[in-house]
Amino acid sequence: MSLAAYYFCKMCTKADKKRDEGLEIPKDIEYVRDIRYGENKKYHTLDICWPKKEAGERLPVIISVHGGGYVYGSKEVYQFYAASLAQMGFSVVNFNYRLAPKYKFPAPLVDLNAVIGWLLEHLKEYPVDMQKVFLVGDSAGAQIASQYGALYSNKEYASVMEMEVPKFTLKALGLCCGTYDLKKRAMEAAGKGVMRDYMGKDIRKYGEKLNVLDYITADYPPAYLFSATGDYLKEECQPMAELLRSKGVRSEYKIYGNERTYHVFHVDMRNEFGKEANGEMVAFFKEVME
């Protein structure tokens, strides 16, 4: 692990612990933990939660792709966020994926694909409607989710990535505080920091796989993009939304809060701007379902 990634992980661990101190899963939410979806004992686990009052119903599904610069993060860090989304009428899947530097690109995408395959195989066990699936992600998770949108909607790109996407219906994406031009990001950070941990020393070996934006077509899922006034990645939001619109894809974007509203603010269950953003994202999802 690079020195930059080491200090990043240390900082995030401290901040996330402070943020979530004293929080509990709401009593109206059924929360099932630590389900194995793959072979890796450390990383291939997921949680599923849903409103208790909706037990027995087939609910639309939100799959949360956590952030953390590809080197940090876990479903535990996102458990309260997942439960808050479930309260809005969804089954929410909150999963771990393999992290860098041990696991390189495209390990998180492969794991996300495996989670979807696992859900399709366990339809009878959980209240999930795989014809109404939504992906949400923030920071690196937004990049991963947006890239999966290209995989899902463009068979040519799935072939480039050497991945087979299961048969389900991805209705829309919710992308927060993300970076979306993977090739540009990888080239700017080539050989240093967390991108080196994720990509390795030589990004040229990935070739066409990095050209994600070139494979966005009119079939790409609708997307709600948002960021915060104090987010260091806020300038990434509008260009992605406009690119989608130029392709004929329904997209909305919004910048929330003030100068003290920072990166991944929406995961803070005490942040009023975060609550507003999550509510408006879910409202977008429900409009798409109509």
Q: What CATH number is given to the structural domain containing 208?
A: 3.40.50.1820
Specify the pLDDT at position 7: 84
Specify the pLDDT at position 193: 79
Residue type, 207: G
Specify the pLDDT at position 224: 98
The number of distinct structural domains making up the chain is 1
| Tokens (6 digits) for 242 | 């406009």
37 and 45 Cβ atoms separated by less than 8 Å: yes
- What average pLDDT is seen over the chain? 94
Per the document, the length of the chain is: 290
Per-residue pLDDT tens over the stretch 47-64: 999 999 877 789 999 999
Per-residue pLDDT tens over the stretch 129-143: 999 999 999 999 999
Rounded Cα gap, residues 179 and 14, in angstroms: 24
The stretch 202-224 carries a mean pLDDT of: 95
Rounded Cα gap, residues 231 and 271, in angstroms: 14
What is the extent of the structural domain holding 66? 3-289
Which tops the pLDDT comparison, 159 or 8?
Answer: 159
93 and 119 Cβ atoms separated by less than 8 Å: yes
Which tops the pLDDT comparison, 60 or 1?
Answer: 60
Beta strands per DSSP E along the chain = 29-36, 45-51, 59-65, 91-95, 128-138, 170-176, 223-228, 251-256
